[in-house]
């Protein structure tokens, strides 16, 4: 590569993030292909399966297996037979892209799914929240090298960041985090999530589906995300930067 700086051009070596097609299959049947960073794919498969309500609970995921097929990667998820029958009835053909949410849902109801309200009880101090925001910068090794990936972090109010996952796609990073939390048998509702992206409705939807009470985004939310957070009783924070943030819904979970 060539780097131009201060009106000079010089040869250089750079590190770039990898992005590969990842196919998710259920009982061997193709369901979705997404472009993702080829790491933590079992977490991705489990998180996607739960956050998209393909199963009613993680216990309905019976087996996960990944394999390479040419230039693509495949992850096969074996789920409870009744859930697989429901999945076939959806008749979806989804393609996930780096900057895209769910495409191809046949009805508005299928795309704008309404999770149940999250439970109450979480309380986070503003000091602890901003300490976690500062901590997150040092917990993104892939982004530090490439500058092109998103992160999702799970934070315990009194202990700081516990788990971080990175991916070129913001949805993928969140699903990888959810999958990692499920595999570690964490009580997801006892902590909160920080994402290094905007808070679109899909991010709120995924978070609420698994019981996250507080979602903190580095960038802005969308209007639909704010309305969904209101009805799901989730606390949504945007523009979370050192020394500032904006609370868009249910501020009672944050204290000075």
Instruction: Report the candidate in 74, 51, 64 with the shortest Cα–Cα distance to residue 181.
Output: 51
Tell me the three state secondary structure of residue 49.
helix
* Helices and strands (DSSP H and E) totals, the chain: 8, 15
Cα(131)–Cα(108) distance, rounded to whole angstroms? 39
Tell me the three state secondary structure of residue 213.
coil
Answer whether 45's CB lies under 8 Å from 24's CB: yes
User: Considering 100, 103, 123, 232, which one is annotated as catalytic?
Assistant: 100
Tokens 């996960």 belong to residue: 64
DSSP string, 62-80: EEEEEEEETTEEEEEEEE-
Cα(10)–Cα(4) distance, rounded to whole angstroms? 7
Encoded tokens for 61: 């995921």
Q: Has 100 been annotated as catalytic?
A: yes
Q: Any idea which residues carry the catalytic annotation?
A: 100
């Amino acid at each position: 590569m060539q780097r131009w700086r201060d009106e000079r051009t010089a040869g250089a070596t750079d590190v770039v993030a990898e992005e590969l097609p990842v196919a998710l299959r259920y009982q061997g049947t193709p369901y979705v292909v997404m472009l993702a960073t080829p790491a933590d794919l079992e977490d991705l498969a489990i998180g996607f399966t739960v956050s998209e309500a393909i199963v009613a609970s993680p216990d309905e995921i019976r087996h996960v297996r990944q394999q390479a097929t040419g230039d693509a990667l495949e992850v096969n998820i074996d789920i409870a037979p009744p859930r697989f029958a429901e999945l076939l009835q959806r008749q979806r053909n989804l393609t996930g892209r780096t900057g895209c949410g769910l495409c191809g849902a046949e009805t508005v109801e299928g795309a704008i799914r309404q999770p149940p309200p999250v439970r109450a009880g979480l309380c986070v101090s503003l000091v602890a929240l901003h300490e976690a925001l500062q901590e997150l910068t040092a917990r993104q090794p892939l982004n530090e090298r490439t500058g092109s990936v998103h992160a999702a972090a799970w934070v315990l109010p009194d202990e700081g960041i516990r788990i971080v996952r990175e991916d070129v796609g913001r949805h993928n990073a969140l699903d990888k985090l959810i999958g990692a939390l499920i595999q570690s048998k964490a009580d997801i509702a006892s902590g909160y999530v920080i994402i290094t992206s905007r808070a679109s409705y899909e991010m709120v939807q995924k978070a609420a589906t698994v019981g996250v009470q507080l979602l903190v985004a580095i960038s802005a939310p969308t209007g639909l995300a704010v309305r969904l957070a209101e009805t799901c009783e989730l606390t949504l924070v945007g523009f979370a930067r050192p020394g500032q943030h904006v609370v868009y819904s249910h501020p009672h979970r944050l204290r000075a």
